[in-house]
Structure 1
Amino acid sequence: MAVLVAGHAVDDLYQGAVPALVPFLVLERGYGYLAVAGITVAATLLSSVVQPLFGWLTDRRPMPWLVPLGMTLAGVGVGLAGLSDSYVLTWLAIALSGLGVAAYHPEAARLARRVARDSHVGMSWFSVGGNVGFALGPVLVTPVLAFGGLAWSPLLAVPALVGGACTTVALRGVHSAGSAAGVRAGTDDWGQFSRLTVVIIARSVVTFGLGTFLALWVTSRVGGGPAAGAAALVVLFGAGAASTLLGGVLAGRFGRVRVLRVSYAVAIPAVAGVALVPGPAVYVMVALTAVSLYVPFSLHVTLGQDYLPNRLGTAGGVTLGLAVSVGGLGSPVVGAVAGATNLQWGLLSLVLMPVVAWVAARGLRSPRCELEPR
């Protein structure tokens, strides 16, 4: 589990790195809102299309080698993104990073659930690794590119290269261990899984929208240049990482479905506050938004796997990949609204998504394979 948690952090560092790249692309290349949103799409498009395929493959046979390979591709893509002034080549480099993320998540989630022995808290630790990586993305990108500009982007690939090599060594022998694992009993509930997918997509639209535009919004709101925007991303992803672990604890006491419903109810005013609260107090609203959006994060994964007990890879591919990535396709809509009006209205348009998530979550029920508080 330690290897998987650390590897998840390295892999998802590159998802957190993409939003942190945005201010530098705007500064050095003059990208507009729609161009910036296109970069976010590049990070999610291949991932959203291919990730279910990787999940299907890992359900048929264990493929632990996808874990270090996906991590390495995620880093190499981000590392190549700053080397060309061509928007197309930059887009393709970020898309390569998205492909690496797609390869990583289904197999890593399948292995993590087995190692955690179905523990909510154990899977929360795995999810915390990913969210810590998100939080570290801006911490890595901002000082490197602030000092050397986009030309220094290849240095951003170093953690992936080191992490991929270390993970390859650490996961030797995992194939046979995974093959020996028993088949989970139960009936796949595609109706509940589909409803859960709606919840995840709605949440993802908010997180990607904030990840893409939050740094620009906070910079204009409080001043301070790119550092102020990067600080907002650190608050968003850092508070989110801590809240992910809290979600596993709360689920053990109150039940996963109830925690999801309350979290998304809180998210509605919190997201509105990010767009409306003036001055430095915006950081408080960013933190509250992070708590409400990230407490349910690991619970999505375990619920999805329990709704599809015979397809852990597929469930992981959708809950950690497809549904999350599809949410990234909403960023161009936010960009279009911001371009037609202003960025504040673009962010306010995101408030609709927690409403959708809350309504969908009200129709969820506890999986048949488990008795938990309702």
Structure 2
Amino acid sequence: MKNNSSPATSHSSGVDQEQRNLQQATIYRILLAVSFVHLFNDSIQALIPAMFPILKNNLLLSYAQIGWISFALNMTSSVIQPVIGYAADRKPRPILLPLGMCCTFAGVLLLAFADNYILVIFSVMLVGFGSAAFHPEGMRVAHMAAGLRKGLSQSIFQVGGNAGQSLGPLLMKWIFIPYGQIGALGFTLVAAAGIAVQTYVARWYRQMLDSGYTFRKKSTTHKLDAARSKSILSATIILVFLVFVRSWYGASIGSYYSFYLMDQYNMKLDDAQIYIFMYLAAGAVGTFFGGPLADRFGRRNLILISMVGTVPFALALPFVNPFWAAVLLLIGGFVLLSSFSVTVIYAQMLYPGNIGTVSGLITGLAFGLGGIGSLVIGNLIDYIGISKVFVACGFLPLLGLLALRLPSDKKLEGWAAD
């Protein structure tokens, strides 16, 4: 029987098959590499809140000034992320991966020697810019290396970041308490390791792009109807707001709870840091298990449960003794951050193909807006006291009830199938 297909058709079919193979294979070495860099990046970010007690004593800072440092870090690491992500979705830039870590290296080096408030602000802004360059392209790499296992890739990628954040309190206990501010100098080695790994990942990323990998389906020309566009916009606003609230509550624990423990229980600083570590480490575990839990109970349901389910623990926290505080922090951290990777996957379903933009919105802009929360909390502590502020913060997760206004998983899957 004669084969009627032309050479051009055969070549096109071969290219399409190669595209499918590229997009279906799960590349674990790249997933693990980018997850480790996420750990490096976020552990360096975590050292800045860990240094707050040292900086407060060395430079005689107020709580409000501590809040401004947190604000500078979060805003620079987050607000420009949607811009970088949007640009990366239109033209990928693998070179941003090692360049971003170079910026982080410079920020950490300056921070170790910063002897005035302005230089501290400038140093943390450099670290923030490095993080802003990493996250959108890092998430695109994780999506690219995931193949068909998108949920698993998000869990691996995000757990690296949350594990890095959980290291902050241990950094204080093991490095900054014994060595002081100059201890930050050791993290230039972490940044240097990140530059080396990012260079390797960027080369693979470039090779995949040169091989024809694309993030978008070819048939993206049909225009969404007005009702669906309105629903997607509304869902985006709610989702960003929920991540903002989650970040605000997280900032109250990560940046100020050690001060609360020292104020209320006369606890030593190194002991107080263990409590922050337990909260963040439990959150990292929750992040890893969030994907499987969402598969069982639904993405929207898990976002709702993770927020509202935190309320009893958050409300009880200011009124219990240190033992029960540790228990509540472990449970609350796990529950609240179980939706961390799920919110990213949910947003990706709202905007299929726009991986960098989604990263900028969810892990960038919304998290950065949480920095505003940290600034507000610092000012409130100066005016009304730390005890009253922590009682008030316990009500924040109640705003998770807004998740009821998000489209159901079934509706999202129906949109994706159109």
Give the TM-score band, short-chain normalised: over 0.9
Which runs of structure 2 are paired with 1:17-96 in the superposition (5 Å)? 17-96=47-126
Structure 2 residue aligned with 1:238: 281
2:195 to 160, 164, 172: 164
TM-score of the aligned structures, taking structure 2 as reference length: 0.84
- Cα deviation for residue 371 of structure 1 reads 6.4
In structure 2, what is the equivalent of residue 124 of structure 1?
A: 155
Amino acid at match of 1:132: A
Q: 1:153 aligns with which of 158, 170, 184?
A: 184
TM-score normalised by structure 1 residue count: 0.93
Query: Aligned ranges for residues 1-374 of structure 1 at < 5 Å?
Result: 1-116=31-146, 117-178=148-209, 180-184=213-217, 189-356=232-399, 358-366=400-408, 368=411, 370=413
Equivalent-residue separation in structure 2 for 1:344 and 1:88 (angstroms): 30
Q: CA deviation at 1:118?
A: 4.9
CA deviation profile, 1:147-182 (whole Å, cap 9, x unmatched): 221133222222011121122124313124145224
Q: Which amino acid aligns with 1:50?
A: I
Give the 3 Å change call, closer, same or farther, for CA 206–133 of structure 1 in structure 2: same
User: 291-300 or 358-367, which moves further after superposition?
Assistant: 358-367
Maintained 8 Å contact 2:64/2:375: yes
Q: Which amino acid aligns with 1:135?
A: S
**Identity across matched positions, percent:** 27
Q: Is the 8 A contact 2:315 2:395 kept in 1?
A: no
Deviation at 1:141, TM superposition (A): 4.2
How many residues align? The count is 371
Larger Rg: 2
- RMSD of aligned C-alpha atoms? 2.0
**Do the aligned residues in 2 keep the contact of 1:274 with 1:285 (CA within 8 Å)?**
yes
**Contact 1:15–1:134 (CA under 8 A) maintained in structure 2:** yes
Q: Secondary structure at the match of 1:370?
A: helix
Measure the CA separation in 2 of the matches of 1:138 and 1:79. Answer: 20
Deviations 1:212-242 (A, max 9, x none): 1012112334444111121012111111111
Q: CA deviation at 1:30?
A: 2.2
> Cα distance, 1:72 vs. partner?
3.5
Question: What residue identity is the alignment partner of 1:15?
Answer: Q
3-state secondary structure, aligned to 2:167: helix
Residues 136, 68 of structure 1: alpha-carbon distance in 2 compared, 3 angstrom cutoff = farther
- SS of the residue corresponding to residue 329 of structure 1 reads helix
- Contact 2:76/2:129 (8 A) holds in 1: yes
Bigger mean CA deviation after superposition, 29-38 or 145-154 = 145-154
CA change 1:138–1:68 in 2 (3 A) is: farther
Contact 1:38–1:332 under 8 Å retained in 2: yes
Describe the superposition over 1:116-135 as per-residue Cα deviations: whole angstroms up to 9, x where unpaired.
23532321111101001111
2:20 corresponds to: none
Q: CA deviation at 1:281?
A: 1.8
Matches of 1:138 and 1:76 in 2, distance apart? 22
Contact preservation (8 Å) 1:79, 1:154: yes
| TM-superposed deviation, 1:74 | 2.9
| Alpha-carbon distance between aligned partners in 2 of 1:141 and 1:75, rounded to the nearest angstrom | 19
Give the Å deviation of 1:274.
Answer: 2.4
SS across alignment from 1:5:
helix
Partner Cα separation in structure 2 for residue 286 and residue 58 of structure 1: 37
> In the TM superposition, what is the alpha-carbon distance from 1:298 to its structure 2 partner?
0.2
Structure 1 residues without counterparts, runs of 5 or longer:
none
3-state secondary structure, aligned to 2:352: coil
Q: 1:291 to 1:63 in 2, by over 3 A?
A: same
Distance 2:396 2:216 in 1: 36
Q: Which moved more, 1:221-230 or 1:307-316?
A: 221-230
Pairwise CA distance, 1:82:
3.5
Do the aligned residues in 2 keep the contact of 1:219 with 1:228 (CA within 8 Å)?
no
Report the Cα distance in structure 2 between the residues aligned to 1:70 and 1:346, rounded to whole angstroms.
36
Conservation of the 8 A alpha-carbon contact between 2:73 and 2:125? yes
Q: Is the 8 A contact 2:261 2:267 kept in 1?
A: no
Give how far 1:103 is off.
0.8
Distance 1:266 1:369, change over 3 A: closer
| Cα 1:348–1:15 shift into 2, 3 Å | farther
Q: Give the counterpart letter for 2:40 in structure 1.
A: V
